[in-house]
């Protein structure tokens, strides 16, 4: 009778192991051995004493998670040996799904980028070439064409062309998403890095014109008969642009001359400009400076 052949069990490069803790729990970690090197990965998952059905369910859940992580690590090791990178595996991911992942990372880490930036970016991308664009398709030519689309063909709610700074914000948000993807192995490189400066859009600093007036002119403007008679008065010096600050020159009943920076037209529309200058609401948001 022939002897049965022994089955050779393949050695696993990743194994689940447990470490006893002082509180009676067991910490679950992975023992990874490859190419003669051994590393450990602690999963922050624990096995607790099974005192009730809830603790047994918790242990089963944590073991299932540990086995899933173990399977993922084995796949990663195998792919690395075959020359398959994570970016190659993620090449079929939709660009919109990548933006959602980046938005979730932003929210989880309390970053300053708001959700409105992502909603506007996704809306523009869908209007550009639909919602099925993959990371493999989002290359240099795609980014250049998207920038030209924003400049010439994008349809906003107001049906007006986008301002330069709006275009720069959208492309910057997309480039930031690609940078995050590179750091997390979703992409090998950011396609915007291969675009020349002539094909990119940058923010333009807005030009603001402020009304400047000498101190002597403030004295001269407020040196009127009303001031001499002890009657409060207010004089507003406006600039041509409604969003620019305005300068208010006046005097109170004691003849004290005052200069203040007044808010925008929208703010002053709701202000009581007829009240005495020193107590009026028109200068509540401004900085008061008395000229004696």
The contacts of residue 93 (CB under 8 Å, 6+ apart) are: 134, 135, 186
H-helix or E-strand containing 84?
Answer: none
Contact 201, 164 (CB under 8 A): yes
What pLDDT score was predicted for residue 125? 93
- Assess whether 195 and 111 both reside in one domain: yes
What pLDDT score was predicted for residue 83? 56
- Assess whether 170 and 239 both reside in one domain: no
How many structural domains is the chain composed of? 3
What pLDDT score was predicted for residue 192? 94
Domain termination site, one of 159, 174, 199: 199
Residue with tokens 């020159």: 249
User: Token pair of 220, please?
Assistant: 């001269």
User: Could you read off the pLDDT tens digit of each residue along the chain, which spans 292 residues?
Assistant: 566 666 655 678 899 999 999 999 999 999 998 878 889 999 889 999 999 999 999 999 999 999 998 888 887 777 666 655 555 656 788 999 999 999 988 888 877 666 677 889 999 999 999 999 998 899 999 999 999 999 999 888 888 888 899 999 999 999 999 999 999 888 889 999 999 888 888 888 766 555 454 444 444 444 444 444 444 545 555 544 444 455 555 555 565 655 555 554 444 444 443 434 333 333 333 433 333 4
- Assess whether 260 and 178 both reside in one domain: no
Q: Is 168 within a domain? A: yes
- Assess whether 35 and 134 both reside in one domain: no
What pLDDT score was predicted for residue 190? 93
Query: Residue 105: which CATH number?
Result: 1.10.150
Containing structural domain, residue 24? 14-84
- Assess whether 79 and 100 both reside in one domain: no
Q: Phi-psi category of 142—alpha, beta or left, where left has phi over 0 and alpha has psi -120 to 50?
A: alpha
- Assess whether 184 and 124 both reside in one domain: yes
Among the listed residues 183, 246, 259, the one whose alpha carbon sits nearest the alpha carbon of residue 216: 259
- Assess whether 25 and 102 both reside in one domain: no
What pLDDT score was predicted for residue 110? 76
Domain termination site, one of 56, 84, 112: 84
What pLDDT score was predicted for residue 46? 94
Q: Is 6 within a domain? A: no
Question: What CA–CA distance (Å, rounded) separates 160 from 167?
Answer: 13
Domain termination site, one of 48, 67, 84: 84
What pLDDT score was predicted for residue 13? 86
Q: Is 206 within a domain? A: no
Question: What CA–CA distance (Å, rounded) separates 186 from 100?
Answer: 13
- Assess whether 272 and 186 both reside in one domain: no
- 50: Cα within 13 Å, side-chain hemisphere: 7
């Amino acid at each position: 009778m022939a002897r049965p052949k022994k089955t050779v069990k393949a050695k696993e490069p990743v194994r689940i192991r447990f470490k006893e803790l002082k509180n009676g729990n067991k910490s679950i970690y992975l023992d990874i051995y490859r190419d003669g090197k051994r590393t450990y990965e602690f999963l922050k998952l624990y096995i607790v004493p099974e005192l009730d059905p809830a603790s047994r369910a918790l242990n089963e859940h944590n073991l299932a998670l540990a086995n899933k992580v173990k399977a993922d690590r084995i796949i990663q090791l195998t792919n690395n040996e075959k020359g398959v990178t994570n970016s190659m595996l993620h090449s079929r991911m939709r660009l919109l799904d990548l933006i959602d992942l980046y938005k979730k990372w932003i929210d989880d880490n309390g970053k300053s980028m708001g959700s409105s930036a992502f909603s506007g970016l996704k809306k523009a991308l869908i209007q550009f070439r639909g919602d099925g664009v993959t990371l493999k398709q989002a290359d240099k030519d795609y980014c250049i064409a998207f920038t030209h689309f924003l400049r010439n063909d994008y349809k906003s709610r107001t049906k007006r062309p986008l301002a330069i700074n709006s275009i720069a914000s959208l492309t910057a948000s997309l480039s930031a998403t690609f940078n995050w993807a590179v750091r997390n192995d979703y992409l090998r490189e950011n396609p915007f890095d291969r675009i020349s400066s002539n094909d990119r859009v940058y923010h333009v600093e807005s030009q603001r014109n402020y009304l400047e007036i000498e101190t002597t002119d403030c004295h001269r403007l407020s040196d009127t008969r009303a001031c001499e008679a002890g009657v409060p008065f207010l004089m507003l010096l406006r600039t041509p642009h409604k969003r620019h600050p305005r300068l208010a020159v006046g005097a109170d009943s004691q003849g004290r001359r005052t200069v203040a920076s007044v808010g925008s037209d929208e703010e002053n529309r709701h202000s009581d400009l007829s009240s005495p200058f020193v107590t009026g609401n028109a200068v509540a948001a401004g900085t008061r400076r008395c000229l004696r």
